[in-house]
């Protein structure tokens, strides 16, 4: 408010009669109002200006000085255009242009910190892949070094670009480091992008190589340089590890100084190292992934990874499984979680969108919330701020120490006063080098600096203003660049691609809020007319179907296409984008669904009968809840995606249904978007259904008596359980005189091994894995497991002098039987006079399978180096899952769809595989399997089934451990047969809660005479290695690779897959 006061005389003699009457006594009062008030009073020939305000004194002084500056300029330059007015005083200019002392030294390379951490903490955990395994810093360093040498052999050199087209995995991380170690740069490609888009990027950067995996089908379709399949690289000691861990809108590839990027990361956490565990949540094509990966591994933290599908559908579970305590994500994702769901989480770094008050109110207590701001062009993060509840969400904090920020006129280059709105610009060492091969775009964004001491500045396009204390307030974009789902999008680029099709006369794109989600809506004019408003979609189905938008990145596809006769205009002649947004937001859900791009012209809301069952009603209400729709019936034919659903709302939907007692994966939501189809994928809470099926397990008197006879008291027993079918089968086979499936592995101990230390190292995973402490007894035809409390292992020592005595000792160990009361695993150390030693491990197959062996090995290594063992599902949970399963339903399924027929091949009464034949097969089946929608093991299995059918002349073939091979239907294609085989396999797996003896008895067959004589397995087979002086360097409870293995198997023919071929064991 401006208040003009009466003129005041300079001396008393000049006062008028009126002023004498109303003479002011004392000091001039300050009036309390809700306004900032400018008082203006003439005193003689001069003027006095007073600002009455609650704002801080410095800013108030600047405002009054700016006002005075404006007055003087107007009075002295009446003919000058107003655009030349400069409000800034010399004092304010000095303050805004004040020089900044940047750090003198930077880390030279993006991975320098990682290599320093590797030297300092070689055995600290660098990466964890779900709960399946981990890599230490030294392991990751060695793996990336080997990958670097391999890529070098493929032609990658310093200064080259290598395009990455991979799925999220530890291999992805190792590949990034390998590329950087060669002095090359990695260019991430999204598997979700159209082939044309990725091919364009490959060509644009002149990539030397494309690095991919055999599971990524798109890799072979890209044009350009050679494709290197990383998962097929022959890396010494790591091949198996890799297998396990497993727009013409021009793209703007920004080249950023690695040193500044690293320094900005260090500044974010204000520390250089720490025991923090960060979830790698972002897609690797997003710049936030650089912070997640390198910020963590450059400071000694642990990077936690999980498949993208699990991150979408089971984010809470993933965080808890891996004890994640730090997350980078957007506010949209932050709203999916609550503190009580993820008790390990301590720090949230939020970016991409302003942090709103609802997030700070939820996460404020006991958590650190960091708001980070920064364009990719300035090394990802330029400012940051710790947020508290009630803070201004637009306050993006102070610039980092490697950033000098200033604010200029939106359409000019002059500095704006403190508090005035302008365009945020950045100078300093964090500045990028520009856009690759985009000189005009680079010149517009990276232009000549307007403050002394700098050559180049980056114009961010973001509107901002200075706040007190040097912090910055973000006020949105000055152009048509927006952020949708965390992606920065130029609306003009979408419009350019649509116009380039030649099918439309005009196109304008807006961001409209549909439900509660921001969606891209493209308004197009196919034929100009005077008809106002949005046109009926069914008149434009053919035109929309012909729009070629594959040059756009996947995240730039418009959700809606809305035809118009003409664009609405403002008085200035510009398109009224606000009115366009209002139009689309005024449409109800039924009308909106008809304009969705992927099903144009078809409105499916309420077309068919309404929902009827309770489960359908729950799903319909869940849709209304998460999509924020009006509470009216949707109908069975409604489409989740057409109503505004996407991957984020799919996550919300699965979370909502989980609380209602239903299970549904994000994958099922997106692949079955119709309500009727999606409802068919829902499953009720398994635990609620299982508990009522069977009474709790009770330890029988016979078992208690057996325990007493073995000297087992309650003080030395952890718990007792009924053995599940698979374990019972192996125990039964192991109890035969031939000791079927019992494993004995002999392996040299490394030179200078401290045996006592090795024993202690084995006892630690024994304590962690209860199955290694288990002893077994068979009572009334059922196997019972008794878990002992003590993890102390018994090791026998045998002195031998030569190989003859070794053979005698091994035979004696083999002939000994496991006895109830002691764990069904035995350890023996053979010692020779010269000091060499061998460890012999004998273990009943009831104690392990391939997965458990990997868990044992991981735990052995982790605990050996003093790290906590990776979390895993306790065997106890697995046991009682089987106990509470519906065995009746499983028997019914296995006795009908996959009923044993008595098929036998080869026809041998007592089969025993005793020799092997290895056949090399140079096959690359990954792309074929992916194209058919099945896994590679399914291809091998289906091929084996067909061979078996042809060999025997029978179509109903059978094999262990899987199931009866399905008969190929007449006219069925290979692809259809593969899909059927895979479906049947997983159906059999889900019903494997009953033993083979039960299945055969249920259908009236004697398994001893009608049982299968053949088995198919898809697993790696590792032959004995040549022993060396340091053989056995990687030791554990039991190690198959490099060991002399004895394990008889009760089959006439057993087919196993190996990395480079097929291994057949036959009689």
Q: What is the pLDDT of residues 191-217, one digit of tens each?
A: 888 888 899 899 999 999 999 988 887
Place of tokens 């003198």: 104
Q: What is the pLDDT of residues 676-706, one digit of tens each?
A: 999 988 888 654 444 445 678 889 999 999 9
Rounded to 5 degrees, what are φ and ψ at 678? -65, -40
Question: Would you call 136 helix, strand, or coil by DSSP?
Answer: strand
Which band of pLDDT confidence, cut at 50, 70 and 90, is reported for residue 777? very high
The answer on pLDDT for 892 being more than 50 is yes
pTM: 0.52
User: What are the chain's domains?
Assistant: 1-49 (no CATH), 112-246+249-372 (3.40.50.12780), 394-479 (2.30.38.10), 482-599 (3.30.300.30), 614-684 (1.10.1200.10), 701-877 (3.30.559.10), 887-1013+1051-1066 (3.30.559.30)
Sort strands 487-490 and 481-484 into parallel, antiparallel or unpaired. antiparallel
% residues pLDDT > 90 (the chain) = 22
Q: How confident is the model over 3-27, as a mean pLDDT?
A: 61
Q: What is the pLDDT of residues 942-964, one digit of tens each?
A: 888 888 888 887 777 777 754 33
For the ranges 219-228, 588-597, 665-674, 871-880, the one whose mean pLDDT is highest: 219-228
Q: What is the pLDDT of residues 32-61, one digit of tens each?
A: 777 788 888 888 778 888 888 777 787 788
Tokens of 57: 């004194």
Q: What is the DSSP letter of 971?
A: T
Lowest average pLDDT, out of 109-113, 183-187, 821-825, goes to 109-113
What integer pLDDT is reported at residue 239 of this predicted model? Answer: 40
Q: Are 149 and 239 in contact (CB under 8 A)?
A: no
Residue with the larger pLDDT of the pair 933 and 784: 784
What integer pLDDT is reported at residue 647 of this predicted model? Answer: 63
Residue with the larger pLDDT of the pair 258 and 534: 534
The answer on pLDDT for 933 being more than 60 is no
Q: How confident is the model over 165-194, as a mean pLDDT?
A: 91
The helix/strand count (H/E) of the chain reads as: 37, 42
| Cα angle value 40/46/50 (rounded, 5°) | 30
Q: Cα–Cα distance between 1056 and 1066 in angstroms, integer?
A: 11
Q: How confident is the model over 346-359, as a mean pLDDT?
A: 81
**By C-alpha distance, which of 1010, 957, 1011, 966 is closest to 985?**
966
Residue with the larger pLDDT of the pair 877 and 536: 536
Residue with the larger pLDDT of the pair 642 and 175: 175
Q: Cα–Cα distance between 328 and 350 in angstroms, integer?
A: 6
The answer on pLDDT for 442 being more than 60 is yes
Which band of pLDDT confidence, cut at 50, 70 and 90, is reported for residue 1017? confident
Which band of pLDDT confidence, cut at 50, 70 and 90, is reported for residue 987? low
Tokens of 774: 């288990």
Lowest average pLDDT, out of 180-184, 380-384, 837-841, 1051-1055, goes to 1051-1055
Contact residues for 940 (Cβ-Cβ < 8 A; gap 6+): 925, 1016, 1018, 1057, 1062
Which band of pLDDT confidence, cut at 50, 70 and 90, is reported for residue 23? low
Lowest average pLDDT, out of 222-236, 245-259, 1041-1055, goes to 245-259
Where residue 301 falls (left for φ over 0; alpha for ψ -120 to 50; beta otherwise) is beta
Q: What is the pLDDT of residues 370-414, one digit of tens each?
A: 999 988 888 888 999 998 888 888 899 999 888 889 899 887 888
Q: Are 1013 and 905 in contact (CB under 8 A)?
A: yes
CB atoms within 10 A of CB 358: 13
| Cα angle value 9/14/20 (rounded, 5°) | 80
What integer pLDDT is reported at residue 930 of this predicted model? Answer: 52
The answer on pLDDT for 350 being more than 50 is yes
What integer pLDDT is reported at residue 1032 of this predicted model? Answer: 38
Q: What is the pLDDT of residues 236-263, one digit of tens each?
A: 544 434 443 443 334 445 555 554 455 5
% residues pLDDT > 70 (the chain) = 80
The answer on pLDDT for 938 being more than 80 is no
**By C-alpha distance, which of 1010, 827, 1019 is closest to 937?**
1019
Residue with the larger pLDDT of the pair 566 and 551: 566
Lowest average pLDDT, out of 382-396, 471-485, 557-571, 650-664, goes to 471-485
Q: Cα–Cα distance between 231 and 239 in angstroms, integer?
A: 7
User: What is the pLDDT of the chain when averaged over all its residues?
Assistant: 79
What integer pLDDT is reported at residue 585 of this predicted model? Answer: 86
The answer on pLDDT for 731 being more than 60 is yes
Q: What is the pLDDT of residues 264-309, one digit of tens each?
A: 544 554 433 446 899 999 888 888 888 899 989 998 999 999 998 8
Question: Would you call 820 helix, strand, or coil by DSSP?
Answer: coil
- Residue 180 CA: distances (Å) to CA of 112, 154, 211, 220: 10, 15, 14, 24
Where residue 641 falls (left for φ over 0; alpha for ψ -120 to 50; beta otherwise) is alpha
The answer on pLDDT for 333 being more than 70 is yes
Would you give the end-to-end CA distance of the chain in angstroms? Answer: 100
Which band of pLDDT confidence, cut at 50, 70 and 90, is reported for residue 231? confident
Which band of pLDDT confidence, cut at 50, 70 and 90, is reported for residue 104? low
Tokens of 685: 């809470």
Q: What is the pLDDT of residues 809-819, one digit of tens each?
A: 999 999 999 99
Q: Cα–Cα distance between 716 and 719 in angstroms, integer?
A: 9
What integer pLDDT is reported at residue 1060 of this predicted model? Answer: 42
What integer pLDDT is reported at residue 42 of this predicted model? Answer: 82
What integer pLDDT is reported at residue 235 of this predicted model? Answer: 63
Residue with the larger pLDDT of the pair 24 and 63: 63
Lowest average pLDDT, out of 2-6, 263-267, 733-737, 887-891, goes to 263-267
Burial of 351: CB neighbours in 10 Å, binned 0-12, 13-18, 19+: buried
For the ranges 626-640, 671-685, 802-816, the one whose mean pLDDT is highest: 802-816
Q: Cα–Cα distance between 286 and 370 in angstroms, integer?
A: 19
Angle in degrees, 0-180, between the axes of helices 258-269 and 112-120, rounded to the nearest 10: 60
């Amino acid at each position: 408010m401006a208040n003009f006061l009466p003129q005041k005389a300079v001396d008393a003699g000049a006062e008028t009669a009126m002023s004498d009457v109303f003479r002011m006594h004392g000091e001039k009062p300050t009036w309390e109002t809700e306004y900032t008030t400018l008082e203006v009073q003439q005193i003689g020939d001069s003027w006095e200006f007073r600002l009455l305000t609650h704002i801080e004194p410095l800013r108030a002084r600047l405002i009054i000085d700016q006002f005075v500056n404006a007055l003087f300029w107007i009075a002295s330059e009446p003919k000058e255009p107003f655009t030349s007015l400069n409000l800034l005083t010399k004092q304010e200019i000095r303050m805004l242009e004040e020089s900044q002392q940047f750090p003198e030294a930077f880390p030279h390379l993006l991975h320098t910190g990682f290599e320093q951490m590797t030297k300092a903490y070689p055995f600290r955990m660098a990466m964890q892949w779900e709960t399946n395994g981990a890599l230490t810093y030294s392991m990751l360093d060695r793996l990336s070094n080997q990958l670097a040498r391999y890529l070098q052999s493929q032609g990658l050199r310093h200064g080259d670009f290598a395009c990455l087209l991979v799925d999220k995995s530890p291999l992805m991380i190792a590949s990034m480091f390998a590329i950087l170690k060669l002095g090359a740069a990695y260019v991430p490609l999204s598997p979700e992008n159209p082939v044309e888009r990725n091919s364009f990027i490959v060509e644009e950067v002149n990539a030397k190589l494309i690095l991919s995996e055999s599971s990524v089908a798109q890799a072979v379709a890209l044009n350009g340089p050679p494709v290197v399949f990383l998962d097929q690289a022959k890396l010494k000691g790591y091949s198996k590890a890799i297998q396990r861990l497993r727009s013409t809108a021009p793209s703007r590839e920004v080249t950023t100084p690695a040193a500044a990027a690293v320094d900005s990361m260090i500044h974010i956490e204000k520390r250089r190292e720490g025991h923090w565990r960060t979830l790698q949540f972002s897609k690797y094509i997003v710049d936030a992934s650089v912070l997640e990966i390198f910020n963590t591994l450059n400071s000694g933290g642990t990077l936690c990874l999980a498949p993208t599908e699990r991150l979408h559908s089971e984010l809470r579970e993933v965080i808890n499984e891996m004890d994640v305590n730090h997350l980078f994500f957007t506010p949209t994702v932050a709203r999916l979680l609550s503190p009580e769901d993820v008790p390990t989480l301590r720090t949230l770094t939020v970016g991409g969108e302003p942090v709103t008050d609802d997030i700070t109110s939820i996460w404020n207590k006991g958590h650190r919330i960091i708001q980070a701001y920064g364009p990719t062009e300035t090394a990802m993060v330029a400012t940051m701020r710790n947020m508290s509840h009630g803070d201004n969400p637009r306050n993006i904090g102070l610039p980092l120490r490697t950033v000098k920020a200033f604010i200029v006129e939106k359409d000019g280059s002059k500095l704006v006063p403190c508090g005035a709105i302008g365009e945020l610009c950045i100078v300093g060492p964090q500045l990028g080098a520009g856009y690759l091969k985009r000189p005009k775009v680079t010149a517009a964004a990276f232009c000549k600096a307007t403050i002394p001491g700098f050559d180049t500045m980056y114009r961010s396009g973001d509107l901002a203003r200075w706040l007190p204390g040097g912090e910055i307030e973000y006020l949105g974009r000055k152009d048509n660049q927006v952020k949708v789902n965390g992606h920065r999008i130029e609306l003009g680029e979408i419009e350019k691609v649509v116009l380039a099709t030649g099918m439309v006369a005009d196109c304008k794109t807006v961001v409209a809020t549909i439900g509660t989600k921001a969606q891209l809506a493209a308004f197009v004019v196919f034929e100009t007319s005077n008809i106002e408003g949005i046109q009926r979609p069914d008149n434009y189905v053919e035109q929309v179907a012909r729009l070629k938008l594959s040059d756009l990145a996947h995240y730039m596809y418009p959700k809606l296409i809305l035809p118009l006769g003409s664009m609405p205009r403002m008085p200035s002649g510009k398109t009224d984008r606000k009115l366009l947004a209002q139009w689309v937001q005024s449409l109800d859900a039924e009308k909106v669904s008809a304009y969705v791009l992927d099903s144009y012209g078809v409105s499916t809301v309420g077309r068919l009968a309404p929902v009827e069952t309770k489960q359908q009603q729950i799903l319909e209400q869940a849709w209304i809840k998460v999509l924020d729709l009006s509470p009216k019936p949707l109908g069975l034919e409604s489409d989740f995606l057409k109503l505004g659903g996407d991957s984020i709302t799919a996550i919300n939907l699965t979370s909502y249904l989980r609380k209602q007692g239903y299970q549904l994966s994000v994958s099922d939501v997106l692949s079955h978007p119709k309500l009727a189809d999606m409802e068919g994928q829902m499953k009720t809470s398994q635990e609620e259904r299982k508990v009522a099926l069977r009474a709790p397990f009770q330890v029988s008197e016979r078992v208690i008596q057996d325990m007493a006879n073995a000297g087992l008291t309650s003080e030395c027993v952890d718990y007792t359980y009924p053995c599940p079918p698979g374990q019972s089968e192996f125990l039964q086979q192991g109890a035969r005189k031939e000791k079927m499936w019992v494993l004995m592995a002999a392996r040299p101990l490394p030179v200078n091994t401290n045996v006592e230390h090795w024993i202690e190292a084995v006892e630690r995973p024994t304590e962690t894995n209860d199955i290694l402490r288990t002893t077994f007894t068979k009572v009334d035809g059922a196997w019972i497991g008794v878990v002992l409390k003590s993890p102390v292992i018994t090791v026998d020592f045998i002195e031998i002098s030569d190989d003859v005595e070794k053979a005698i000792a091994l035979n004696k160990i083999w002939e000994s039987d496991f006895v109830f009361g002691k764990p069904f695993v035995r350890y023996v150390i053979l010692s020779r006079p010269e000091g060499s030693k061998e460890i012999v491990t004998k273990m009943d197959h009831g104690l392990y399978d391939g997965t458990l062996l990997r868990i044992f090995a991981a735990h052995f290594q982790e605990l050996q180096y003093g790290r906590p063992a990776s979390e895993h599902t306790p065997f106890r949970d697995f046991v009682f899952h089987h106990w509470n399963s519906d065995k009746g339903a499983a028997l019914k399924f296995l006795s009908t769809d996959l009923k044993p027929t008595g098929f036998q091949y080869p026809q041998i009464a007592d089969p025993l595989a005793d020799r092997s034949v290895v056949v090399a097969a140079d096959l690359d089946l990954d792309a074929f399997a992916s194209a058919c929608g099945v896994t590679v093991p399914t291809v091998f299995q289906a091929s084996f089934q067909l061979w078996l059918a042809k060999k025997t002349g029978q179509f109903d073939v059978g094999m262990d451990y899987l199931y009866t091979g399905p008969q190929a239907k007449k006219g069925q294609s290979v692809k259809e047969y593969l899909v059927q085989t895979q479906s049947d396999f997983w159906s059999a797996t889900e019903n494997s809660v009953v033993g083979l003896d039960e299945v055969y008895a249920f259908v009236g067959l004697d398994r001893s005479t009608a049982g299968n004589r053949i088995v198919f397995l898809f697993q790696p087979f590792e032959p004995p290695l040549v022993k060396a002086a340091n053989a056995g360097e990687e030791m554990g409870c039991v190690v198959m690779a490099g060991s002399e293995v004895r394990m008889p198997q009760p089959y006439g023919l057993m087919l196993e897959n190996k990395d480079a071929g097929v291994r057949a064991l036959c009689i």
